[in-house]
Structure 1
Amino acid sequence: MLYGRSEEQAEIDRLLDGTREGRSGALVLRGAAGIGKSALLEYAADRAADMRVLRGVGIESEAALPYAALHLLLRSGLDRIDALPDAQATALSGALGLRDAPPESRFLVGLATLSLLSELAGDRALLCLVDDAQWFDQASLDTLLFAARRLEADGVVMIFGARPEFPATGLPERRLGGLDDAAAAALLPADLPPQVRERLLQESAGNPLALVELPAALTPEQRAGRLSPVGAMPVADRVREAFHAQMSGLPEAARTALLIAAADGSGELATLVAAGASPPGLEAAERSRLMGINGSTVGFRHPLIRAAAYQSAPLTERLAAHRALADALTGSASPDAADRRAWHLAAATLGPDEDVARQLEEAAGRARTRGGHAAMAAAYQRAAELSVDPVRRSARLAAAALAASDAGLMGRAAALADSATPDVDDPTMIVALTQVRAHREVELGTPLAAGRIILDAVPRVAVHAPDQATWLLVEAVRCAWFSGDVPLAAHAAAMLRELPVTGWPLADQAEGLTRLLGGDIAAGLALLDAGRDLSGLGVPGLTFAAGACLAAGRAALAEEIAGRVAADCQQSGMIGWLAFALQDQGFAQGLLGRYGDAMGTLDAGLRLARDLGHEHRVLHLTCCLAWILADQGDVPGCREKAEEGVRRADDRGLVLAATIGRWALGRLELGLGNADAALRHLAAVPPTGFGVLAAADQVEAAVRSGRPDRAGEPLERYLTWARHVGQPVSDAVALRCQALVDQDEASFADAVRVHERVDQPYEQARTRLAYGEWLRRSRRRADARVQLRGALEIFDRLGAELWARRSRAELRATGDVPAAPRRSGDPLSVLTPQEREVVRLAAGGASNRDIGAQLFLSPRTVGYHLYKAFPKLGITSRSQLAAIARSAMVE
């Protein structure tokens, strides 16, 4: 029976009931050791008698073995791996060491795990219980959190028990505190004297395990109340002392068995016996109830017992236990035996040992083939600590840094890189380490700091590898573009010009962005246009090119390039770059007026960036979403995202993200008719770099607020930009701006005609609305109605409600009676962003499995989204989707 946990039990009951109805859920139970997490997991297991239950326990000594914990959790369901799509089955089997496989993306392993959980749920519900999750190896933890965040309609519940510091962003959680006095008193023996009970209640701080174990450890004198029952130690330490007191009374063979089992962590009975744990000793330990033996598996009753058994042993005995376990694992057929042996040897080694370091390096190589980048980093790092040769030590630290970066552990990666850099002289390694440190700064620090890190490293690289130095300098310009820092860009561009000419197109584009940032629009755009040969570029280079196309007003080309990058990233597993590509692809779709597609793309990028912990990407995507919501007229959604995004971006020096957020707020206020507020936001947008794209809105805000004197500079800036961009849509917008300033009908009429040459409906409607307003004020009502009706039809179709409302008001002012507001003509507008993406792919003929692989969802969740989408779309079968999707594209 559980005491004092009724709220937690009720929440578990709700989760399990929902699972029986086909819903999914997750819960993290956080709390100190002994606080009752394991008891609540047992409660969940008892209440799930009608479900399939998977259980896993984190073991600290196995935290460096990639996917060890995941294998333990899934082992009873591994016979269903072959039911997964081939790529997923291969990735998961390779990660778990079940077959040889090339390195795979950890996200593909996560998707395979999600699919397997859905498969194991079948027609029944599935409960996954994860205890001591803080001790899970990083690869297993990433995989399970990935799956937990994407559970929707799979009939799966995942409950994690973990210490307070356990990272589980985005999952529901409950923090367990101590029991109240009534519940705590119920756990104490009834025959204790009042003063002893009171002291135990006080010192245990409501910790259930302490309340159960401390009374059992009292001496007769303490129990009678003649001595202080406990000392002034933290609860966990007091409980460990209580367990240690129990162990001290056991025979030596039992204490030895407990120590070997604690040092091992795998629970394999045969390995423990081979390492010196005698059967009589194991039996005595089991009789003490400190551990249990179930078939060929040995387990401790509580993790603190393991800690007490290990920490209370003298150092010499601990070292001997690890050596014995390493010997026992020699020649073992277990897939992870070599890795475990290497780590036991490392634990038994106090000083440098090149042989052990080499074995750890080999373990890191095996981790690479299984996608266990965090385990790989740990192995290389420990190998470095055991290295004799300083150069080899730095090389291993460098490898650890790269692996940690691949695992998404950017802070740790940067620290390792800093440790390795002084002794590394290989240009390729310097480039890699510089990128690790710069990547950390870009996403968690500031792009300006990242650019300076790159510039500091370039001279060491340029002497031996000018081509690699060129790439570093292009990256430095990208950092300057993000941070809006002209000196950084100018410095990097000057260093680029000093390098031998390579003919690499990105060098010209980097120079072009530098000129734009410095305000030289003509030269900047000329260089960006000259650098459009993209042949031979990989994912990082193409991502740079897509961003440069956005700056050059070539949204269609940017979307094409970013879409190609996104597809490559999904196929190759370069997930960090995928969030980047989705950011540019989604914003380009927004610039083209394809708001539904843009919302789906940006939403997918934002969820991915949050999973990765890429703070810069999260803020940039948030501001991009705000920009889309401004055009859609979602006032609270836009303001919430933009204001938060701008505030946090300003704090971090993310000028480009803040520019998009301020632009979003300015467009929103224009749509609301608040010209003064719009001008205030738009005037705060930097006049150079990407900010030039917002100049047209600044012109309109200045004119509408009665401040035409403040329209001159942004008008000239936008006219210059449009003239050199040479795109019909920018030419038309430039004519609209000129017409607004000059109040010139010819420019309005020319703008409308130019808009007809290109498909950019939003800007076309803005122009027709502005022209219609001018005509109405000129008392030409019939002519005004033509333009206003055209504007209203487009705004309605796009779902731009604020602008549609203004168009209706203008039409009413002409004496017309406009049609009532209607939903956007896009038939997919009734869907959520995720439903829209699922429908779009299904309409193209993709299966549920294929869709799940692209969107990181389980096939069952894909089916659930289609089930929800069909009635919204007024259809009953999959075969009708293609026609719906085609009509959306036509609209």
Structure 2
Amino acid sequence: MTSELRGRRKECARLDQVVAEVRSGRGQVLIVRGEAGIGKTALLDHLASRADGSRVARASGVESEMELPYAGLHQLCAPMLELAERLPPPQRQALAVAFGMEFGGPPDRFLVGAAVLSLLSEASDSKPLLCVVDDAHWLDQASAQALSFVGRRLLADHIGLVFGVRDPATAPEWRGFPELTVGGLADADAGALLESVVPGRLDEPVRDRIVAETRGNPLALLELPRGLTAAELAGGFERPDARPLASQIEQNFAQRVGLLPPETQQLLLTAAAEPVGDVPLLFRALAVLGVPMSAAASAQAAGLIELGARVRFRHPLVRSAAYRAATATDRRAAHQALAEAIDPGLDPDRRAWHHAQAADGPTEDVAAELVASADRAQRRGGLAATAAFLQRAMELTPDPATRAGRALAAAQATLRAGAFENALKLLVSADDGPVDDLRQATVNLLRAQITFASGHGAEAAPLLLDAARRFEPLDQDLARDTYLDAFTAAMFAGRLAPGSPQTEVARAARAAPKPVTRRKPDLLLETLAVTFTDGYPAAIPLARTALAAFADEADLGDLRWLWLASRTAVDLWDDEHWDVLTDRHVRMARELGDLTELPLVLNSRLVLHLFAGELPAAASLLAEIRTIAEATGIGLAPYGAVGAAVLRGHLDEATPLIATGMDDVLARGEGGGLSFLHWANAVLMNGNGRYQEALVSAQAAIEDPNDRGVASWSLPELVEAATRTGQPELASDAFDRLTEMTRASGTDWALGLLARSTALLTTAGQAESCYQEAIERLGRTRIRLDLARTHLLYGEWLRREGRRRDARAQLRTAHELLVAAGAGAFADRARRELAATGEAVDEGVSGGTDTLTAQEAHIAELAAAGLTNAEIGAQLFLSRHTIEWHLRKVFTKLGITSRRQLRTRTGDPEPAG
């Protein structure tokens, strides 16, 4: 072990463990955390030196490159790009576009992450792979997201990712990973290290003071004594401690740079301004400046820089010291030389960025260059870079009107990048330009969108409504689109918003000018507006027209409105269009790699599968939702998980989920989510025979008269709970509301539920015909859960009427359907009723492959459908090796050895839990 690693036995052992785990096929991620100069780089060098027999890929974050998308990722992956041909085509293209090797539409950042995972997996096929990234806190956002995505997907892989960072608490990408915190050296080790670099004798009191003031920081111990005379060391070490330690070290480096010849200082400044480490580019820039390459000799002799295949500073603080110590004029000159030395055909974006750094005032030429770079950055999926280029372009734009327009474009890009506070600041600059009604309306729209995106709170709907009104005389299509956005915000807020935002939006939309030619969004807007002004029955014909238009043909423009369209199908009790539209929405979101849109529609489709009694399919979607949530950090209320738990009917599983969901939606102001969770609890309690609690929850679910969708599902739950508690009068209002809506809807699902509810409230003679009608109508739908529950209620009624034989037939059917659906509590109800008729049934809900986890069942389902391991990995954002590992477990659990057996053995695998 070298002197640089003195006192690091524990840290080195942890890094050696990473190497061993990677060699054994267990993917590893480790964050090496510590302050500047604490020895992270030395530990990463140790890690690389111990990786015999492994492939080592290295990269470093560079502060000045943080705005250039995928710069750090390209640095890491460049040596492996010959393997990109093995990737699935969508991943290969996304990576090529991200790295600027091809032009195309903006690749989704998570598709790029999946491509990097696949690339690293391919690179680790022949030998284990260690990826070492120093100064990861300075990676550009796109690279950091992609690498953290990969880190969260590693499992059965010969891949290790080790990142050196200063403070991961300031970088959300690194949170949640295992950490190795590197602190200062112990006093004895620090003193020994200090003595090893100080010539001559060092007085013990002086040594102890240096050790105390540097807090055992190795770089400080090595660097601070340099430049001090022997007399100063002998007479006492007195340094001000007002500055942070990193600044003291940087100041020491700056003093050492200042002792070098002027041409050498200019060389170091130019190298510091060019963070890629491109030696030929540095040579060309120095030629522009008239600085000979011989000027590097003294810097190399001082140990500040190395010029080999790449430019490498002794430490990042040397780079920052060389740059910060220079005057503003010298910095601009270095950036200008670099811009002139860059081939505009090969790297126009970096050239534009250097031109911008060289500018000492507004200049339209450079601003226009930055706008072009912003467009290219957007095509490469770099939203943060797009925003940065546009913001700098705005700052350099001399014309006030053009500057305000660019500020608005920068604010739009910044909003999409998720930087809400910065977007609001840019909107102030957008307001500074000449008065323009369209621009002012767009500014107001952006403010409203920022409000909605940052919290989904009740205040967003009024702001969007105001923006829509402002657009009416300016751009009618944009006005109607904004009214739809306002409806979405109002539906999210629901009962938690003051007043009646849905009705207010509806009245304004109906008063707006009518389009000459109606687009699909216009049909949807008209449906919603009539629903909340003239009532549900009046909107039914419009709803059918809108749903038919969306179901007829699809285009990418539909993606923005498909959630509202499928929500309209739910309101209509139209299971066919709910199925068609959510299926299309899922496919489009997957094809586009839109992982922001995908979890929302997956939750909707999951609930549809639950209603259809398709628990395995629902479990597969739930596994996918969790995969996306883990990969992206997107937070949603656990609607899908709640629905699945409620169907299974286990109180100890579902009740905490519902409580957590309640806290979540109340904190975010989602009244629509509150209705869903009350409905879920009503179903849970009805299933478990706790009818009084079900009644309370169902009543809470229907409190919002404007909630026409999920809350309406609670009307049949309320009727059942009220009749079972001997309070049929409490069901009266709910039954009247149900009657109005279901008769207007006219679907078999709606009328089947009405017939069942009528049977619960009617006399003996009429009840039987109502149950039979309900079974006939529900049997024509895919809503098998309501069909099974109707057989159960009919069987229970027959048993109470003393018709045991007839009751057994209905209860057997109910039990079979409920067991197949995984509806544990309702199945137990059917079993107990059968026992009361004298027929014994095995307890519990059986399942063919109940040893499989949800993720294993999902993978088995995809493998049985004929997908390769690489294709499954691409869909689930896992590596091929991880899919192989999961399938080995599936084969072992099922006692099979081939995919052919899998197709016959798990035609419909049912996961446990």
> TM (normalized to structure 1)?
0.91
Residue 363 and residue 587 in structure 1: after superposition, are their counterparts in 2 closer, same or farther (change >3 A)?
Answer: same
Which of 323, 334, 338 lines up with 1:325 in the alignment?
Answer: 338
Q: Secondary structure at the match of 2:194?
A: coil
Letter in 2 for 1:145: S
Residue 444 and residue 470 in structure 1: after superposition, are their counterparts in 2 closer, same or farther (change >3 A)?
Answer: same
Q: Is the 8 A contact 1:623 1:646 kept in 2?
A: no
Q: Is the 8 A contact 1:184 1:211 kept in 2?
A: no
Which of 225, 233, 250 lines up with 2:243 in the alignment?
Answer: 233
Letter in 1 for 2:308: N
Q: Is the 8 A contact 1:35 1:176 kept in 2?
A: no
| 1:281 to 2:301 alignment | no
Taking the aligned partners of 1:783 and 1:105, their CA distance within structure 2 comes to 58
Taking the aligned partners of 2:755 and 2:188, their CA distance within structure 1 comes to 76
Which of 582, 587, 599 lines up with 1:562 in the alignment?
Answer: 582
Taking the aligned partners of 1:319 and 1:163, their CA distance within structure 2 comes to 29
Q: Is the 8 A contact 1:408 1:612 kept in 2?
A: no
Match in the other structure for 1:174: 179
Q: Is the 8 A contact 1:844 1:882 kept in 2?
A: yes
Match in the other structure for 1:420: 430
Structure 1 gap ranges (5+): none
Shift of 1:121: 0.7
Match in the other structure for 2:900: 879
Shift of 1:566: 2.2
Match in the other structure for 2:691: 675
Aligned ranges for residues 452-601 of structure 1 at < 5 Å?
452-484=462-494, 485=497, 487-502=500-515, 503-513=518-528, 520-532=535-547, 533-534=549-550, 535=553, 538-601=558-621
Residue 37 and residue 808 in structure 1: after superposition, are their counterparts in 2 closer, same or farther (change >3 A)?
Answer: farther
Taking the aligned partners of 2:532 and 2:109, their CA distance within structure 1 comes to 37
Taking the aligned partners of 1:46 and 1:202, their CA distance within structure 2 comes to 31
Letter in 2 for 1:176: T
Aligned ranges for residues 713-728 of structure 1 at < 5 Å?
713-728=733-748
Shift of 1:476: 1.0
| 1:632 to 2:648 alignment | yes
Letter in 2 for 1:757: R
Taking the aligned partners of 1:353 and 1:711, their CA distance within structure 2 comes to 72
Which of 118, 122, 135 lines up with 2:121 in the alignment?
Answer: 118
| 1:854 to 2:875 alignment | yes
Q: Secondary structure at the match of 1:224?
A: helix
Letter in 2 for 1:119: E
Letter in 2 for 1:266: V
Q: Is the 8 A contact 1:623 1:664 kept in 2?
A: no
Q: Is the 8 A contact 1:450 1:479 kept in 2?
A: yes
Q: Is the 8 A contact 2:136 2:165 kept in 1?
A: yes
Q: Is the 8 A contact 1:200 1:229 kept in 2?
A: no
| 1:770 to 2:793 alignment | yes
Match in the other structure for 2:256: 246
Match in the other structure for 2:198: none
Taking the aligned partners of 1:418 and 1:833, their CA distance within structure 2 comes to 49
Taking the aligned partners of 1:435 and 1:151, their CA distance within structure 2 comes to 41
Between 1:78-87 and 1:397-406, the stretch displaced more is: 397-406
Q: Secondary structure at the match of 2:403?
A: helix
Q: Is the 8 A contact 1:623 1:641 kept in 2?
A: no
Residue 467 and residue 194 in structure 1: after superposition, are their counterparts in 2 closer, same or farther (change >3 A)?
Answer: same
| 1:650 to 2:670 alignment | no
Taking the aligned partners of 1:632 and 1:527, their CA distance within structure 2 comes to 37
Q: Is the 8 A contact 1:626 1:637 kept in 2?
A: no
Between 1:699-708 and 1:757-766, the stretch displaced more is: 699-708
Residue 17 and residue 714 in structure 1: after superposition, are their counterparts in 2 closer, same or farther (change >3 A)?
Answer: farther
Taking the aligned partners of 1:666 and 1:546, their CA distance within structure 2 comes to 24
> TM (normalized to structure 2)?
0.88
Across the aligned residues of Structure 1 and Structure 2, the Cα RMSD in angstroms comes to 3.2
Q: Is the 8 A contact 1:34 1:209 kept in 2?
A: yes
Taking the aligned partners of 2:73 and 2:401, their CA distance within structure 1 comes to 36
Residue 801 and residue 442 in structure 1: after superposition, are their counterparts in 2 closer, same or farther (change >3 A)?
Answer: same
Q: Is the 8 A contact 1:447 1:480 kept in 2?
A: no
Letter in 2 for 1:38: T
Taking the aligned partners of 2:753 and 2:174, their CA distance within structure 1 comes to 43
Letter in 1 for 2:509: L
Q: Is the 8 A contact 1:27 1:171 kept in 2?
A: no
Taking the aligned partners of 2:148 and 2:579, their CA distance within structure 1 comes to 31
Give the total of aligned pairs: 879
Aligned ranges for residues 375-390 of structure 1 at < 5 Å?
375-390=385-400
Taking the aligned partners of 2:434 and 2:689, their CA distance within structure 1 comes to 60
Shift of 1:128: 1.1
Residue 194 and residue 428 in structure 1: after superposition, are their counterparts in 2 closer, same or farther (change >3 A)?
Answer: same
Match in the other structure for 1:351: 361
Match in the other structure for 1:109: 112
Between 1:869-878 and 1:474-483, the stretch displaced more is: 869-878
Shift of 1:414: 5.2
Shift of 1:55: 0.9
Which of 278, 296, 300 lines up with 2:313 in the alignment?
Answer: 300
Letter in 2 for 1:67: Y
| 1:200 to 2:210 alignment | yes
Aligned ranges for residues 408-447 of structure 1 at < 5 Å?
408-409=418-419, 412-413=422-423, 415-417=425-427, 419-420=429-430, 423=433, 437-447=447-457
Letter in 1 for 2:323: Y
Taking the aligned partners of 1:435 and 1:758, their CA distance within structure 2 comes to 42
Match in the other structure for 1:758: 781
Residue 42 and residue 679 in structure 1: after superposition, are their counterparts in 2 closer, same or farther (change >3 A)?
Answer: farther
Shift of 1:706: 4.9
Q: Deviations over 1:590-612 (max 9, x none)?
A: 33222222232244245435655
Q: Secondary structure at the match of 2:52?
A: coil
Q: Secondary structure at the match of 1:313?
A: coil
Taking the aligned partners of 1:830 and 1:426, their CA distance within structure 2 comes to 64
Taking the aligned partners of 2:46 and 2:795, their CA distance within structure 1 comes to 68
Q: Is the 8 A contact 1:624 1:660 kept in 2?
A: no
Taking the aligned partners of 1:500 and 1:643, their CA distance within structure 2 comes to 45
Shift of 1:643: 1.9
Taking the aligned partners of 1:550 and 1:225, their CA distance within structure 2 comes to 83
Shift of 1:388: 0.7
Residue 39 and residue 768 in structure 1: after superposition, are their counterparts in 2 closer, same or farther (change >3 A)?
Answer: farther
Aligned ranges for residues 747-826 of structure 1 at < 5 Å?
747-824=770-847
Between 1:21-30 and 1:10-19, the stretch displaced more is: 10-19
Which of 624, 631, 642 lines up with 1:604 in the alignment?
Answer: 624
| 1:739 to 2:751 alignment | no
Taking the aligned partners of 1:308 and 1:354, their CA distance within structure 2 comes to 32
Taking the aligned partners of 1:719 and 1:241, their CA distance within structure 2 comes to 79
Shift of 1:423: 4.3
Shift of 1:545: 0.8
Residue 701 and residue 26 in structure 1: after superposition, are their counterparts in 2 closer, same or farther (change >3 A)?
Answer: farther
Letter in 2 for 1:658: L
Aligned ranges for residues 142-221 of structure 1 at < 5 Å?
142-164=145-167, 165-168=170-173, 171-174=176-179, 176=181, 178-179=183-184, 181-182=186-187, 185=190, 188-190=193-195, 192-216=202-226, 218-221=228-231
Taking the aligned partners of 1:530 and 1:86, their CA distance within structure 2 comes to 38
Which of 65, 68, 73 lines up with 1:65 in the alignment?
Answer: 68
Letter in 2 for 1:682: A
Residue 38 and residue 699 in structure 1: after superposition, are their counterparts in 2 closer, same or farther (change >3 A)?
Answer: farther
Q: Is the 8 A contact 2:484 2:525 kept in 1?
A: yes
Taking the aligned partners of 1:610 and 1:442, their CA distance within structure 2 comes to 23
Shift of 1:553: 1.8
Q: Is the 8 A contact 1:543 1:581 kept in 2?
A: yes
Letter in 2 for 1:370: R
Q: Secondary structure at the match of 1:531?
A: helix
Structure 2 gap ranges (5+): 196-200
Shift of 1:402: 3.5
Taking the aligned partners of 2:188 and 2:530, their CA distance within structure 1 comes to 70
Shift of 1:288: 1.8
Which of 257, 268, 279 lines up with 1:269 in the alignment?
Answer: 279
